[in-house]
Structure 1
């Protein structure tokens, strides 16, 4: 059971709730904090104090004072008018993550909502009710208004949800689960949609996927080293300590352990003096990609426990403060940075694919074909990989450098953080296919060399992957192989990717 306090949610707990369906509850302390600040909101309303979004309009309408009898209607109108998302819906995984993160953000109490609203979000998570949320339409400030409005609709019994594998009307699913549609009170509509939970949810999923993909890329690169009789000296511990980047040191350590015992790996001068950069510089490039991942992890860990609403209620200080915590710039930058790591991990993998299939760069059968000339083998797989990395280069353009004013220039600078996060996730689908193609080619190369000469770890990885995609004995429709292996890489949780460093510690997991 994951207990929400608003302050201590971890990325591992998010993973368990989202992927392992662990149940969620609200802490007793959080309930107290929520109630205290809700009382403060109600007292200020009774005192007829002017508070943004509580008894005023929104955005450019912030100077319009709303009559007391219309305050609940104001919140409902906000959700209806802001539910302008378009395009394909987010996956259930991301929708589920958004529910969890929004519940956690409201758990600190500063948003001035009732415990019932937070519990409705938690009930959705525990029952597996996932709002249908269009992907496009957010500027990333004032928070993810459009996506979160669609999330809010479902809480009201409106819109659609994914439930038990089907897309259904929210009101019908609520009835099945014995849940009552929430009626929004003062401030609660604004509290639901003023936040960065769409971009952060996508960012969390992107981070988790990239972490796994980097490990898989390292394992695949190790197999490619065997297939190309790569030189182990370039992974020497002293060489990498001389530069000092810990992530680079860690990658080199893992590669050495992955190929330990392999008789396919060569020494400097045994066959050639130096390998090409795509082999020799694996630790330097993938180590730098790990740096982007670790930076993103740090920012996400902060953001999943952040209060990103506006205004915030500080009852102990008797303050209601309008600010800009909804601005997504930290996550926008983080996602754009992650995109660079994704792009370069794919770029160097594609170059290794080229070295595996190009007969001018190796001593393997041309294009790994079982019958070169009559059969093309892996020739066009490299084309597909090249296309994917080229597409990634366009997606890697930073979304965060753009800003378009909105709400009659009241909201005159926005983050585009959700676009950055969505592009990162798109790029991850591309890189997974590139790694799948490299793995297909690497497996073919080590078969040519003799799999009995492989290292224990790479051999185990090879045998698992071979159960998904058979050896190339004649030309076939390779698209099917690529997609099957891509799906396996996405689902694989069995790869032995935890190794020890020379001091006995555990490297990145």
Structure 2
């Protein structure tokens, strides 16, 4: 059971709920603060005091007064009018992450939402009612208005949801799950949709996958180093100690452990004096990405436990402040950075694939097939990798450098943070497929070595891959192999086999 209180959620707990469906409960100690903020909202309504989104309209309509008799209509109208998402829905994991993050933000007690409303959101998580939330349509300020509105539609018995594998109306899903729908009261509609939870959910899930890929990039490159009789002097700890970036030091250490006891690697001068950058500079390239991932993790975990609402209610001072905590710029820049960093991992991997298949660079049979001409071997596998990294270069253009005014220029700078998160997600997917192709190519290249002893960390990679993918003797349909190799990355089977043998790899 994961308790949420608005302060202690981290990436690991987020993944346990969003991916592994661990149940959630609202911490008892959070309820007092939640109720205090709710009491203040109700007092403002009763006294008809002017406060944005409580007794006024929204956006450009912030100067329109709303009577206490109209507050319920105001909040319902907000949700149904803002449900303007388009495109494919977010995945089940992404939708679960959105709900968890919104409930956690509300649990801090600065939003004025009722305890009952938060518990409805938690019940939906625990019972598997997953709103259909279109992934396009958010500017990332004022938060993820359109995506979060689609989430709230189901809470009020509207919209659509997936329940027990079936798509149905929100009303049907809530009824079948035994969850009572709610009637939104003062401030609640705004409190549920003013925030960065869609971009943060997508970004957090992407970060988790990126952290796995960061380790897998070391693993796949170690296998390539062996296939090309790479020089290990470049991974000497003395070299990296004089340029002490943590990611660089950790990557070099990972490579030394992976290649320990290998008879396929060489020392400088034995075959050649130095390797190409895509081999020699692995610690510097992968290390920079790992430093980025640590930065992204810090920012994501701050955002997970932040109040991204507007207005924010401070009960101690009897004060409601209208500000801009919903603005997604901190996440927009962060997820752009994540996408760029992961695109570089794939770039380096594709260059290593080229070195494996190109006989002028490898000394191995062209395209890793013995009967070149009759067979094409890994020729087009490299094409696919090249296409993926080229697509990544387009996707890596920052979303955060764009802005467009909205709400009659009241909201004249927006973050595009949700686009940044979605682009990073697509880059990570593409990169996992490039690494899968590198694993296949490197394992095939090893077949042409004299089957000398492999490294302590690379031997389980080769063995795990060969359990499901035999060596390529004659041409076969390779997209199936690419999918299989990539699945071994996605389900962490190769990573687990390696870490079981040599211990956890570092990021």
Q: Could you say which TM-score interval applies, normalised by the shorter chain?
A: over 0.9
Task: Determine whether 1:508 maps to 2:502.
Answer: no
Q: Runs of 5+ in structure 1 lacking a partner? A: none
Task: Give the structure 2 partner of residue 278 of structure 1.
Answer: 278
**Contact persistence 1:369–1:375 (CA under 8 A):** yes
Task: Determine whether 1:7 maps to 2:11.
Answer: no
Task: Give the structure 2 partner of residue 129 of structure 1.
Answer: 129
**Contact persistence 1:257–1:499 (CA under 8 A):** no
**Contact persistence 1:10–1:301 (CA under 8 A):** yes
Cα distance in 2, alignment partners of residues 500 and 409 from structure 1: 59
User: Cα distance 1:317–1:498, how it changes in 2: closer, same or farther (>3 A)?
Assistant: farther
**Contact persistence 1:354–1:382 (CA under 8 A):** yes
The range that moved more, 13-22 or 359-368, is 13-22
Q: CA deviation at 1:451?
A: 4.4
User: Cα distance 1:366–1:12, how it changes in 2: closer, same or farther (>3 A)?
Assistant: same
Where 1:320 maps in the other structure, the secondary structure is strand
Where 1:372 maps in the other structure, the secondary structure is coil
Task: Give the structure 2 partner of residue 370 of structure 1.
Answer: 370
Task: Determine whether 1:487 maps to 2:482.
Answer: no
The range that moved more, 1-10 or 251-260, is 1-10
Where 1:3 maps in the other structure, the secondary structure is strand
Cα distance in 2, alignment partners of residues 370 and 6 from structure 1: 60
Task: Give the structure 2 partner of residue 210 of structure 1.
Answer: 210
User: Cα distance 1:198–1:451, how it changes in 2: closer, same or farther (>3 A)?
Assistant: farther
Q: Runs of 5+ in structure 2 lacking a partner? A: none
Cα distance in 1, alignment partners of residues 500 and 234 from structure 2: 19
Where 1:400 maps in the other structure, the secondary structure is coil
Task: Give the structure 1 partner of residue 169 of structure 2.
Answer: 169
Aligned residues: 506
Q: CA offsets per residue over residues 355-388 of structure 1, 9 Å max, x none?
A: 0000000121111013111101001111111110
Q: CA offsets per residue over residues 146-166 of structure 1, 9 Å max, x none?
A: 000001111112111122222
The range that moved more, 445-454 or 231-240, is 445-454
Where 1:360 maps in the other structure, the secondary structure is helix
Cα distance in 2, alignment partners of residues 467 and 56 from structure 1: 64
Task: Give the structure 2 partner of residue 24 of structure 1.
Answer: 24
User: Cα distance 1:362–1:508, how it changes in 2: closer, same or farther (>3 A)?
Assistant: closer
Where 1:161 maps in the other structure, the secondary structure is strand
User: Cα distance 1:129–1:471, how it changes in 2: closer, same or farther (>3 A)?
Assistant: same
**Contact persistence 2:215–2:505 (CA under 8 A):** no
4+ aligned runs moved over 6 Å, structure 1? none
Cα distance in 2, alignment partners of residues 197 and 55 from structure 1: 25
Where 1:408 maps in the other structure, the secondary structure is coil
Where 2:162 maps in the other structure, the secondary structure is strand
**Contact persistence 2:264–2:452 (CA under 8 A):** no
Task: Give the structure 2 partner of residue 409 of structure 1.
Answer: 409
Task: Give the structure 2 partner of residue 199 of structure 1.
Answer: 199
Compute the RMSD of aligned alpha carbons.
Answer: 1.5
TM-score by length of 2: 0.98
Q: CA deviation at 1:447?
A: 1.8
Q: CA offsets per residue over residues 331-377 of structure 1, 9 Å max, x none?
A: 00000111111111000000000000000001211110131111010
Cα distance in 1, alignment partners of residues 505 and 481 from structure 2: 32
Cα distance in 2, alignment partners of residues 383 and 347 from structure 1: 13
**Contact persistence 2:311–2:322 (CA under 8 A):** yes
Equivalent runs, 1:82-97 vs 2, <5 Å: 82-97=82-97
Q: CA deviation at 1:178?
A: 1.1
Task: Give the structure 2 partner of residue 233 of structure 1.
Answer: 233
Task: Give the structure 2 partner of residue 256 of structure 1.
Answer: 256
TM-score by length of 1: 0.97
Q: CA deviation at 1:470?
A: 2.1
